[in-house]
Chains A and B, each alone.
Chain A
Amino acid sequence: MNPFLDTLQSLRDAFGSGKTRPAEFRAAQLEGLNRFLKENRDALLAALAQDLHKAPFESEISEISICQSEINLALNNLHSWMKDEHVSKNLATQLDTAFIRREPYGVVLIISPWNYPLNLVLVPLVGAIAAGNCVVLKPSEMSKSMEKIISEVLPSYLDKNCFAVVLGGPQETTTLLENKFDYIFFTGNPSVGRIVMSAASKYLTPITLELGGKNPCYVDDNCDPQNVANRVAWFRFFNAGQTCVAPDYILCTRETQEKLLPALQNAVTQFYGKDPQGSPDLGRIISDKHFHRLRGLLGNGRAAIGGQSDEQERYIAPTVLVDVKETDPVMQEEIFGPILPILNVQSIDEAIAFIRKREKPLALYAFSKDSKVVRQMLEQTSSGGFCGNDGFMHMTLTTLPFGGVGNSGMGMYHGKFSFDTFSHQRGCLLRSSGMEKLNSLRYPPYAQRNLGLLLSMVEISHKGQCTLL
């Protein structure tokens, strides 16, 4: 039994009617999203607090503002993004019109996770709508309060014929994926990513997978330990560590570790006070399952900072682990919690070798006063994105594409990249019926003399190259 057939058919019919194509329609939907954010701000903040104990500050900068920016960007640029992109022509096509037309795919599926349950629903949604698609949203069932708002409140701000929300857990999602979509945008972990890609292959559905991994953070000896500690700690413990681009582990020498530890303790105390559990600015773990998973990791190595936990509140203290071995469980999976292991290396070369042995991460961080060191790390590794001397600030720039590589994902979005991701780029060449004499060079029967002329018509622009034979 396929419970989604009707919903999908009506979306497909709506798309087929062409109503999502005009810029006015798309802009109206985006304005709807604007109103949704403005009119439900308090409810959204409350939902984030409920699901993740997210402080208003964190919610503001990592969820609401980002969504707002993306909506505004799309509204401001929709017309220019939708315009045909004229391309350079060769000799044979000089008199023709050649352009790339960006078209919607059709019915698009967006599957979002629980860690930034507003951001990771709305930002892809903005791209899909701006590109002219109909959308099915499948928000995460784990962030229950936000799921409620998305399914009960959001639809009233959008055209009901072109937009649907589907709820459920892994079972329902599996059934959903048995249907045909024209594009699938998935944010989550690599193993589910494989399942999504496999399901997509049955219909040859193009996809974007925003996955994760263990994001290495290299700290050079030549640095200001307190500055580094502030930055690393903030990005690590933000949202209680439940961020796909958070620095997952530190690589540094023993001596730097000795300088970092007090600095990190300093940062933690400054940020969250002597008793972090009492701080309103520290988040909580999303579920009991993840809480227990993380609590198990606290026993790896030795907790130099933190190490406490509280099952009732699903609270895990901001923790820094030392004496961690490469083979420990904490180094086998993406941590996704407020635990920061430090592994020792003797040199940057060792750090680079360590990183290259493993799967390509979503983000990579390098801290050093010496820009040559930062550059070396950048050049000799691969990752989705890279930030030198800070945490995931690169994500806040909508002019930088955000996405993974290898195990951390495929495809990208944010800003115009979202629009392009949800569009099919159709190459168009419009010729005239004239100039047929020129064309006759290509028709049989062939004579040797045609060859030379033909050669000069195609793309041979490099001077001095002797290609005539």
Chain B
Amino acid sequence: MEQLVLRARAAFQTGRSRPLSFRLQQLRALQRMVQECQKEILGALAQDLHKSEFNAFSQEVVSILGELDHVLEKLPEWVAPEPAKKNLLTMMDEAYVHSEPLGVILIIGAWNYPFVLNIQPLIGAIAAGNAVIVKPSELSEKTATLLAKILPQYLDKELYQVINGGVKETTELLKQRFDHILYTGSTGVGKIVMEAAAKHLTPVTLELGGKSPCYIDKDCNLDIACRRVTWGKYMNCGQICIAPDYILCEPSLQSQIVERIKETVREFYGEEIKKSPDYERIINLHHFKRVTSLLEGQKIAFGGETDEATRYIAPTVLTDVNPNSKVMQEEIFGPVLPIVPVKNADEAIQFINQREKPLALYVFSNNNKLIKRMIEETSSGGVTGNDVIMHFTLSSLPFGGVGNSGMGAYHGKHSFDTFSHRRSCLIKKLKMEGANKLRYPPNSQSKVDWASFFLLKRFNKVRIGLFFLAFLGILVAITVKFQYC
């Protein structure tokens, strides 16, 4: 483990991952990999999650191709130094922020979107000029094995490595020193990752989870709301970190919502859902049993069928769910949708605020004021109004959690920033020493007065004042220079 990380570090130290041309070349190679190995990628995803080709392509591969296109186009802009506005004292100098690579990045991916959640961070880390170790989840076995096989065929073998293994190997890996760790997974393991990172003062980005609430207002287009919720909830068999976890609505809406979701499920997956190629399965037995147990004692409005042999759980809706029941205590991560009735929006807001900050918040309403209010009076990683999931697909929005749902963000330029150190640079000249004399001891009251005069931004808004000041400053500098020379 140590050797592999040291190899990546040595490769980084050679400096070859830094030039823009190299980064672009590697990203293009990654693009070719995705295009040329598409069949194998889709096949692995199908095996790991019972995912249809269309699903795998539209949910995983398309996002990656889109991200690659975006980064390839924008990277030259991102690596350019950002000039900073100067003050009086630094007027003649160069001041800018320079984004530099951090070094060796560790990416720990999750099993539910095993391609996207490893490759999207990888794109950002490469774009920022780093070396990268990718540790895919062992639960999505076929994808993990495939990544270990194809990545070295297209990318620099020493700079970018895939390391596979289980808990033991990951623990060993976390003992090594990295310059940034991006972890996608559960809150519990997130704490372990941050604790391990603390030993080396390694900054972390933690993409965790929680129970993402979905408030459905009585003033909304219920048909459309229910279609969108159905789509987002049962996608990947509910195994998405930003799935609408549970619904909050007024009691009178419950039965209407149930009807519409039921209809939509039939429309999406047919009469025999088990036979639909578009409906996935639970990743493994442990999670199958976990999700199934959440159904105990609940009022099942429809669904509830399970088949252990194929790890199939039918799209299920629960009504009149008690907030204290098991299904409301943990992130469901399965195709079970509880509806918790609340009196009104106020109660919904209170309900949400009593719990840990979720990764996503959803609100369906025709009333814009209500949507704004729900956003203002709650907190969450991100928000989509009148739809679900979609804020994830816009890479100009930072994607990340807050509180228990995580820290840091990525996607698009946010990935580039996450994996860079933004170094402040001020370049002065060795001359003009006269101007500096003002700051050197021995000090006097007049120097103190001049100092406060120069440093206090009293003339912020008055341009004329600023010019006058500048003129005065140069005058003082010249005077002082003549006095002391």
Contacts and interface: CB of A to CB of B under 8 A. Distances in A.
Contacts of A201: 191, 194-195, 197-198
B424 interface: yes
B428 A387 contact: yes
A427 B448 contact: no
Interface stretch (A203-211, A297-305, A333-341): A203-211
A19 interface: no
Interface stretch (B131-139, B253-261, B450-458): B450-458
Interface string A32-70: 000000000000000000000001111011001110110
Interface stretch (B148-156, B371-379, B462-470): B371-379
Most B CB contacts (10 A, CB to CB) among A88, A223, A459 go to: A459
Interface residues of A, number: 119
A280 B190 CA distance: 52
B7 interface: no
A316 interface: no
Interface string B379-392: 11111111100110
Contacts of A439: 227-228, 387
A467 B224 CA distance: 31
Interface stretch (B52-60, B287-295, B332-340, B472-480): B52-60
For chain B, what secondary structure do more than half of its interface residues adopt (helix, strand, loop), or is it mixed?
mixed
A436 B224 contact: yes
B366 interface: yes
A270 interface: yes
A144 interface: no
B430 A224 contact: yes
7 contacts: A69-B455, A387-B427, A393-B428, A405-B423, A426-B381, A432-B386, A444-B278
Interface string A179-216: 00010000000100110011011101010010100000
Contacts of B66: 458-460
A21 B69 CA distance: 39
Contact of A431 (B382, B390, B457): B390
Nearest to A436: B224
Interface in A416-467: 424-433, 436, 439, 442-446, 448, 450-451, 454-455, 458-462, 465, 467
Nearest to A378: B425
Interface of B: 13, 15, 35, 38, 52, 54-55, 57-58, 62-63, 65-67, 69-70, 72-73, 84-87, 89-90, 93, 95, 97-98, 100, 102-103, 179, 187, 190-191, 194-195, 197-199, 201, 203, 206, 208, 220-221, 224-225, 227-228, 231, 267-270, 276, 278-279, 353, 364, 366, 368, 371, 375-377, 379-387, 390-391, 393-399, 402-404, 406-409, 421-431, 433, 436, 439-443, 445, 447-448, 451-452, 455-458, 460-461
A394 B201 contact: no
Contacts, number: 326
A421 B410 CA distance: 16
A427 B399 contact: yes
Interface string A396-429: 1101111001110111100000000000111111
A442 B234 CA distance: 13
B170 to A, nearest CB: 16
A455 B62 contact: yes
Given A386-B423, A386-B426, A465 B58 contact: no
A198 B193 CA distance: 10
A105 interface: yes
Contacts of B231: 442-443
Given A394-B95, A431-B387, A55 B441 contact: yes
B424 A385 contact: yes
Contacts of B426: 385-388, 390, 393-394, 397, 400
Given A55-B441, A384-B423, A87 B396 contact: yes
A382 B269 CA distance: 55
B58 A451 contact: yes
Contact of B268 (A386, A412, A444): A444
Contacts of A380: 15
A347 interface: no
A72 B220 contact: no
Given A270-B440, A459-B69, 10 more contacts: A72-B458, A231-B436, A380-B15, A394-B426, A427-B409, A430-B386, A444-B278, A458-B393, A460-B65, A467-B35
For chain A, what secondary structure do more than half of its interface residues adopt (helix, strand, loop), or is it mixed?
mixed
Given A410-B203, A432-B386, A459 B395 contact: yes
Contacts of A202: 191, 195
A410 B366 CA distance: 43
Contacts of A143: none
Given A69-B457, A430-B371, A271 B396 contact: no
Given A103-B379, A279-B441, A429-B384, A401 B428 contact: no
A314 to B, nearest CB: 19
A56 B441 CA distance: 11
B430 A227 contact: yes
B399 A451 contact: no
A427 B397 contact: yes
Contact of A385 (B225, B384, B423, B443): B423
A197 B385 contact: no
A20 interface: no
Contacts of B87: 396-397
Nearest to A411: B203
A399 B423 contact: no
Contact of B441 (A65, A100, A271): A271
Nearest to B426: A394
B67 A428 contact: no
B159 to A, nearest CB: 17
Contacts of A270: 440-441
A81 B72 CA distance: 30
Contacts of B408: 206
A272 B425 contact: no
A149 B270 CA distance: 72
A389 B429 CA distance: 6
Nearest to A58: B443
Interface stretch (A162-170, A286-294, A366-374): A366-374
Contact of B191 (A204, A211, A429, A460): A204
A175 interface: no
Contacts of B90: 393, 396-397
A271 B84 contact: no
Contact of B69 (A100, A227, A460): A460
Contacts of A346: none
Nearest to A409: B201
B386 A227 contact: no
A380 B231 CA distance: 50
B455 A467 contact: no
B404 to A, nearest CB: 6
Task: Return the 6 tightest CB-CB contacts between A and B, nearest first.
Answer: A427-B397, A201-B194, A197-B198, A57-B443, A87-B396, A281-B441
A411 B421 CA distance: 9
Contacts of B227: 436, 439, 443
B73 A204 contact: no
Nearest to A366: B427
Most A CB contacts (10 A, CB to CB) among B72, B84, B353 go to: B84
A407 B201 contact: yes
A424 to B, nearest CB: 4
A296 interface: no
A390 B179 contact: no
A65 B452 contact: yes
B189 to A, nearest CB: 11
Contacts of B364: 433
A65 B455 contact: yes
A16 interface: yes
Given A386-B424, A397-B87, A198 B195 contact: yes
A87 B409 contact: no
Nearest to B407: A206
B239 to A, nearest CB: 16
B97 A400 contact: yes
A174 interface: no
Contact of B380 (A182, A426, A459): A426
